[in-house]
Amino acid sequence: MFVVVTSYAQQSETEQKAVLVTGASSGIGLKITEELSAKGYFVYAGARKQADLDRLNTMDNVQAIKLDVNNWSEINAAVDIVKKEGRGLYGLVNNAGVAIFSPLIEVKEEDLDFIFNVNIYGPYRITKAFAPLIIESKGRITTISSISGILAGRFFGPYSMSKHAMEAFTDALAVEMEKFDVQVSAIEPGNYNSKIVESLVKRMKSKDISFENSLYKEEFESLITSYGADRSRYKDPKEVADAVEKALFSSNPKRRYMVVPNENEANWTITQILREMVQLNENQAYKYNREELIKKLDKILAETE
Ligand SMILES: NC(=O)c1ccc[n+]([C@@H]2O[C@H](COP(=O)([O-])OP(=O)(O)OC[C@H]3O[C@@H](n4cnc5c(N)ncnc54)[C@H](OP(=O)(O)O)[C@@H]3O)[C@@H](O)[C@H]2O)c1
C-alpha cells in the first residue's frame, strides 16, 4: 500500500493554525516561535528590531511582524497584515515583557510607567486589537505571567505588581470570553534562560539608574551580584514553550500552567498561595475551621480532575 506521510510543516496553509507571539526576538518568545513553527503551526512573530525581523523571517512557518506592544499604529498595522494573509488567527501569546529591580519607596514613576506599559498595557492593547480575529476562530489566548504573579519579594515589587495584574487579567478575560468559546490561560514560568536581566541592566546603564544613594545600597548590590545579567546558568525555556502549546491546542486547556525548573520554585509558589488563604481566613467574621478548609480544598481538587 502506498502511504503518504505528511508532516505538519507540509500541510497546506489553509490547514495550519496561526498563532501570534509578541516579543519573539529572544528568550521564551523565541523558543515558543521555534517550537510551534517546527511542529507545523504558522507563527506571526512580533519583534521590534530589523535584525530580529530578518532572522525570524528565515524560519519555516514564520512571518515576522514589526510589533512594539506600546505602539498603536504598529498594532493596527499588524492586525491588517494578519487579516490580509487570510489564515485567520487561532492563538494569541502575550509574551513580550520587561523587568526592573527597585525598592518600592524609591522607584521613579517613569520606571513604573515603563514596566506597566509593556507588561500590563501591552497584553491589554494586543488582546483588544486581535480579539475579533480570535473570536472568529473560537481560538485561544495565553499570557506569559510568572511565578512573580503569586510571589513578591525585595526589589521585585514593580515586576510582581505587573505579573499579579496579569493573573487578574487572565481570570476576568477567561470569564468574558466564555460566551465566544475562546479559552484563556496564563503560564507561570519560574527562572529560565533569557535576556530579561541583560535588558534590565542595559536600560539601567542607559538611564544612569544607580543605587549609590539608596537606603538599600548593600542589599541591592548583593541582589545584582547574585542575580547577574547572564542567565545562561538557567534552563532553556523549552518546557515553557511546551506548556504554551498545551494551552493553545489541547482539547481541555488549564487556566494556569506553572512551569518551574526545580522543586524549590514550586514549593515557594504553592506555599505562598496557601499562606494567603490562611491570612485571608484568619480572624475574619466568617472564618472556616481546618476541616471546612480541607473540605473546600477537596472539592476544588475534584473539580479540576
Ligand atoms: N525568563 C524567565 O525566567 C521568566 C520567568 C517568568 C516570566 N517571564 C516572562 O516571559 C516573558 C518573556 O521574557 P524573557 O524572559 O524571554 O525575556 P527576554 O529574552 O528579554 O524577552 C523579552 C521580549 O520582549 C520584547 N519586548 C520588550 N519590550 C517590548 C515592547 N515594548 N514591545 C514588544 N516587545 C517588547 C523583547 O524585545 P527586544 O529584543 O526588542 O527588546 C523580547 O523579545 C516576559 O513576559 C517575562 O516577564 C520570564
Domains by residue range for the chain, with CATH: 8-196+231-261 (3.40.50.720), 264-305 (no CATH)
Beta strands in 111-245 (DSSP E): 140-144, 183-189
Atom of ligand 1 nearest to the CA of 117: 31
200 within ligand 1 shell (Cβ under 6 A):
no
Encode the chain (305 residues) as per-residue pLDDT tens digits: 333 333 444 445 446 999 999 999 999 999 999 999 999 999 999 999 999 999 999 999 999 999 999 999 999 999 999 999 999 999 999 999 999 999 999 999 999 999 999 999 999 999 999 999 999 999 999 999 999 999 999 999 999 999 999 999 999 999 999 999 999 999 999 999 999 999 998 998 899 888 889 999 999 888 877 777 788 899 999 999 999 999 999 999 999 999 999 999 999 999 999 999 999 999 999 999 999 999 999 999 999 87
- As annotated, the active-site residues are 159, 163
Q: What angle do CA 33, 20, 35 make, to 5 degrees?
A: 20
> Residue 92 C-alpha to ligand 1 middle, in angstroms?
15
149 within ligand 1 shell (Cβ under 6 A):
no
Atom of ligand 1 nearest to the CA of 96: 24
> Residue 133 C-alpha to ligand 1 middle, in angstroms?
24
